[in-house]
A and B are shown apart, each in its own frame.
Chain A
Amino acid sequence: DTGVSQDPRHKITKRGQNVTFRCDPISEHNRLYWYRQTLGQGPEFLTYFQNEAQLEKSRLLSDRFSAERPKGSFSTLEIQRTEQGDSAMYLCASSLEGGGAETQYFGPGTRLLVL
Chain B
Amino acid sequence: GDSVTQMEGPVTLSEEAFLTINCTYTATGYPSLFWYVQYPGEGLQLLLKATKADDKGSNKGFEATYRKETTSFHLEKGSVQVSDSAVYFCASGNNAGNMLTFGGGTRLMVKP
| Inter-subunit contact A106/B95 (CB<8 Å) | no
| Inter-subunit contact A56/B105 (CB<8 Å) | no
The total number of A-B Cβ pairs within 8 Å is 68
Find chain B residues with CB under 8 A from A35 CB.
Answer: 100
The one of A31, A41, A97, A104 in contact with B105, judged by C-beta atoms closer than 8 angstroms, is A41
| Inter-subunit contact A95/B97 (CB<8 Å) | yes
In the complex, what residue of chain B is closest to A6 when comparing beta carbons? B43
| Inter-subunit contact A56/B98 (CB<8 Å) | yes
- Give Cα A91 to B42, complex, Å: 12
**Is A72 part of the binding interface, using a Cβ–Cβ cutoff of 8 Å?**
no
A22: shortest Cβ distance to chain B, in Å?
16
Q: Which of B14-22, B44-52, B61-69, B74-82 contacts A (4 or more CB under 8 A)?
A: B44-52
B: interface residue count bin:
20 to 34
Find chain B residues with CB under 8 A from A102 CB.
Answer: 97
A97/B43 contact (C-beta < 8 A), A40-B105, A41-B104, A42-B104 known:
no
| Inter-subunit contact A100/B100 (CB<8 Å) | no
| Inter-subunit contact B51/A45 (CB<8 Å) | no
Find chain A residues with CB under 8 A from B103 CB.
Answer: 42
A109/B105 contact (C-beta < 8 A), A97-B97, A101-B95 known:
no
Interface residues of A (CB under 8 A from B): 4, 31, 33, 35, 40-45, 48, 50, 55-56, 91, 93, 95, 97-109
Interface residues of B (CB under 8 A from A): 4, 31-32, 34, 36, 42-46, 49, 51, 89, 91, 93-105
